[in-house]
Amino acid sequence: MSVLTTLALMTTAVVAKLRPVNADVEITRLQAKLDELERQLKDIRRDRDDWMGMAERWRARYEALRPNEEIVRAQLQAQQLMAMAQSQQNIAQMAQYSQQNQGLAQQAGLQGAYQDFCNCVPARHDMFRLG
């Protein structure tokens, strides 16, 4: 056997012995990496569950407030309708009063006099004017 052959066989034996040790180290390293990834996945799932719980609470709060919002809107609409009805009633009363006043003026025969009547206060220089 030559020196080169002897060295090649020895190197092969050394490498063969180191390989299982390296495989064990690699398995341990991969197991640690797998454990870390599983821990991260567990954290992500916990965070997701927390966010989903928070979203459900906000949704429940919104749904609880929504009927109150609709009640307030209905009350505002009712108030607006009442105000419109009141203004229409006021307009109708004004028209009725106007018709009554015209009817009274016609009954009294003062229609022409009523139109020419002026309830003005004369100016100071017109106070003593004759005619």
Q: What's the pLDDT score for residue 96?
A: 85
* Rounded CA separation 108/124 (Å): 33
With respect to residue 123, please indicate whether it lies within any of the assigned structural domains.
no
Q: What's the pLDDT score for residue 131?
A: 58
With respect to residue 109, please indicate whether it lies within any of the assigned structural domains.
no
With respect to residue 111, please indicate whether it lies within any of the assigned structural domains.
no
Prediction pTM value: 0.37
Instruction: Please give the residue that has the higher pLDDT: either 70 or 17.
Output: 70
State the residue range of the domain holding 79.
3-96
Give the chain's domain count. Answer: 1
What pLDDT band is residue 55 in, cutting at 50, 70 and 90? very high
Q: Who's near 105: CB < 8 A, 6+ residues apart?
A: 111, 114
What pLDDT band is residue 38 in, cutting at 50, 70 and 90? very high
* Rounded CA separation 17/9 (Å): 12
What pLDDT band is residue 42 in, cutting at 50, 70 and 90? very high
Average pLDDT, the chain: 80
* Rounded CA separation 80/128 (Å): 56
With respect to residue 130, please indicate whether it lies within any of the assigned structural domains.
no
29-34-36-42 Cα dihedral, nearest 10 degrees: -170
109: its two tokens: 């025969």
With respect to residue 92, please indicate whether it lies within any of the assigned structural domains.
yes
With respect to residue 14, please indicate whether it lies within any of the assigned structural domains.
yes
* Rounded CA separation 75/99 (Å): 36
Distance of CA 117 to CAs 28, 104, 122, 127, 128, Å?
115, 16, 14, 18, 20
Q: What's the pLDDT score for residue 111?
A: 52
With respect to residue 108, please indicate whether it lies within any of the assigned structural domains.
no
Mean pLDDT, rounded, for 29-52: 94
Q: pLDDT tens across 88-128, in order? A: 898 888 888 888 877 776 766 655 555 666 667 777 777 77
87 and 96 Cβ atoms separated by less than 8 Å: no
